[in-house]
Structure 1
Amino acid sequence: MKALTWHGKNDIRCENVPDPKIQHGRDAIIKVTACAICGSDLHLMDGVMPSMQSGDVLGHETMGEVVEVGSENTKLKVGDRVVVPFTISCGECFFCQRGFYSGCERSNPNAKMAEKMWGHSPAGLFGYSHMLGGYAGGQAEYLRIPYADVGPIKVPDGLTDEQVLFLSDIFPTGFMAADFCNLKGGETVAVWGCGPVGQMAIKSAFLLGAERVIAIDTVPERMELARQSGAIVINFMDDDVYDKIQDLTNGRGADACIDAVGTEAAATASLDSMIDRVKVATFMGTDRPHVLRQAIHCCRNFGTVSIVGVYGGLLDKIPMGSAINRGLTMRMAQTPVQQYLPQLLGRIQQGEIDPSFVITHRATLDEGPELYKTFRDKKDGCIKVVMRP
């Protein structure tokens, strides 16, 4: 089958790889009908995530049609149309039973590797390094799904692939970002990053009752899409973000701040941003957490900082004094997708949101390597790429 594979920093290829096979009775195999390039895939392209191996199949935003089912899987049948969460979860362990599916204790066969870096292992993920399981991803013609009686959600008739594909990751992630803000109605929420997850966070904040959303970015197409969703937009290259948020909130600060950027924040004129880039370039640091520092400073006393941008290692100079002395709540997670799926599918069915609004590019797998570069470099107005194998 064809698949997009990783062969080192900036080296993504479309090539033939072996077809997946059933390995356990709870498995299923799907023929992929749609998949997407996620912002976190760019961290792999940029060589940020350790333990990638040459030839690894990429991708964790995937849906398709079931073509084979393991002997122990009674949930799915051949012909079912499903969306696949990026988190692989057993459904039975301590964390899965409590709805914390992204903390699954059983789905990462390389848990010891993750424990050395993070203390404890999260769930295995599709197409996202051997430290997180070494599972083949879904930017391919076929995908093997472990624990397929827990993860995939069946797609009702009448919904298109593009309406539901993003239930695999970016819609639940953006919704969780807003959900973490504990919105009661009438709040001001600031969102750093107007990429696909940021766009979903903006929409979700309004769905959950925010009165105002302030969106921070510098890419014209992304800022315009945020405006179309009703956000007030700040261009961080033209304005001082802290001063603008202070002005918009009469000096109080935002009720909640969402970091939808993560480890590879763009460079700004600020000293800390420039130091971050030097440290990462000289292997003296692992991440560039400028956005997180700014979100903490811009959040009002006893507000919430919600972190859904991906960080991988150790963050320097986080202003914990500000967070502690002002009573901030900080919430963060890899999204326990399965927990959110039923209600988010319901919101799509009821017409409250159509997540396909972020799609700007449609392509084949053969075009995938070039579109990885287009997406990373923010060229051609690219916000979200969907591929149909």
Structure 2
Amino acid sequence: MKAAVWHGRHDVRVDEVPDPGIEEPTDAVIRVTSSGLCGSDLHLYEVLAPFMTPGDILGHEPMGVVEEVGSAVTGLKPGDRVVVPFQISCGSCFMCDRGLQTQCETTQVRDQGAGAALFGYTKLYGAVPGAQAEYLRVPQAQYGPLKVPDDVPEDRFLFLSDVLPTAWQAVEYADVPDGGTLAVLGLGPIGDMACRIALHHGVRQVIGIDLVPERLERARARGVHTLDLRETDDVAAEVRQLTEGRGADSVIDAVGMEAHGDRTGQLMQNAAAVLPTAAAEKVAGSVGVDRLAALHSAIDMVRRGGTISLSGVYGGMVDPLPMLTLFDKQVQLRMGQANVRHWTPDILPLLTEHDPLGVDHFATHHVPLTEAADAYEMFQRKDDGAVKVVFRP
């Protein structure tokens, strides 16, 4: 089969690789019909390269048709159309029972001190072959995949794999009070969708912050008050002006470790990336530093007693945080990978009859899998208005 394969930093190629098969009774194999390109994939393309191995298959946002199931999978059959969550969880352990599927005790990658295994996401999360491919082996298929109707547009349910539950959890964790204001840093796929969800929830004022014109325009068209980072030296001051001088009640950081405007973090990330593999992994895994510009902005613009919700991925081990400010402002901080199956019951009703969140037209680009290398470069550079790219194998 063809698959998007990591060969090195900024080096993704479409290779012929062996077809997957059933390895455990709880496995399924699906024929992938759509697979998203996620901002988290760009971390592998850039900063997290030390944890990758040449030959790793990328991708963690799949939808497809079941080809084969293991003997312990009774809820699926060949021909079923399914969307597959990005994390691999069993649905029956201590953590899954508490709605913490990203901490699943059955698939935890204990030798790395990590939570549940993820598709296509480095040795830190199990080195499970990813979904930007023609076929995908799905472990824990007795629980993970969600059957979806055959007679709806392909993109309607695709984003249940990651974008929708990640944005939904970000808004839930933000805990915006009635009549309050939510500021969203970063209007990529997660930030954009978080704005849509917040408005759907009835949040009075949603402020979207970015520096890419097309992303700002997308958010503005849906009723978001946008702030352009290219036009201000102090975005936190502008947020305070919009909130009676207090700051936003809640802030979502949907940017993460590769924020613009942090030269020190960028230099350290780049330095680790050019070291020999073993040395780079040791440096990144023990003294890695993120670009913290977005998080520092969130801390600055949130009001006293407010909440910061982190959905942007951070991977640093010695990130310096302004603990005095966080403590003095009584800031609540919530974060983590989205617990997909915990949130899908809330999201599904919004997808089955109409499309209030605009998922049918959320993707900006649909491209053949064979164009994966160019798509990664386009998405990294934010060229051609790329906000969300979907591969069609």
Q: Which residue of 2 aligns with 1:287?
A: 290
Pick from 344, 349, 370: which aligns with 1:346?
349
Q: What's the secondary structure of 1:191's corresponding residue?
A: strand
Within-5 A mapping of 1:154-303: 154-239=147-232, 240-267=234-261, 273-283=262-272, 285-303=288-306
Measure the CA separation in 2 of the matches of 1:125 and 1:314: 20
Tell me the CA shift for residue 236 of structure 1. 1.2
Measure the CA separation in 2 of the matches of 1:360 and 1:88: 27
Amino acid at match of 2:164: F
Measure the CA separation in 2 of the matches of 1:139 and 1:130: 17
Amino acid at match of 1:48: L
Q: What's the secondary structure of 1:131's corresponding residue?
A: helix
Unaligned regions of 5+ residues in structure 1, if any? Answer: 116-120, 268-272
Tell me the CA shift for residue 296 of structure 1. 1.0
Normalised by the size of structure 2, how large is the TM-score? 0.93
Q: Which residue of 2 aligns with 1:106?
A: 106
CA deviations over 1:273-309 (Å, ceiling 9, x no partner): 2333333334474310111111011101111100000
Contact between 2:288 and 2:315, CA under 8 Å: does it hold in 1? no
CA deviations over 1:2-45 (Å, ceiling 9, x no partner): 00000110110001000001011111100001111000000111
Within-5 A mapping of 1:50-199: 50-108=50-108, 110-112=109-111, 114-115=112-113, 121-199=114-192
Contact between 2:182 and 2:252, CA under 8 Å: does it hold in 1? yes
Identity of aligned residues (%): 45
Pick from 317, 321, 339: which aligns with 1:318?
321
Q: Which residue of 2 aligns with 1:14?
A: 14
Within-5 A mapping of 1:370-381: 370-381=374-385
Tell me the CA shift for residue 80 of structure 1. 0.6
Q: What's the secondary structure of 2:370's corresponding residue?
A: helix
Measure the CA separation in 1 of the matches of 2:16 and 2:143: 29
Moved more, 194-203 or 354-363: 354-363
Amino acid at match of 2:147: K
Q: What's the secondary structure of 1:148's corresponding residue?
A: coil
Tell me the CA shift for residue 317 of structure 1. 2.9
Q: CA RMSD in A?
A: 1.4
Normalised by the size of structure 1, how large is the TM-score? 0.94
How many residues are paired up?
377
Amino acid at match of 1:275: T
Contact between 1:187 and 1:209, CA under 8 Å: does it hold in 2? no
Measure the CA separation in 1 of the matches of 2:339 and 2:150: 25
More helix by share: 2
Measure the CA separation in 1 of the matches of 2:314 and 2:340: 18
Measure the CA separation in 1 of the matches of 2:238 and 2:330: 22
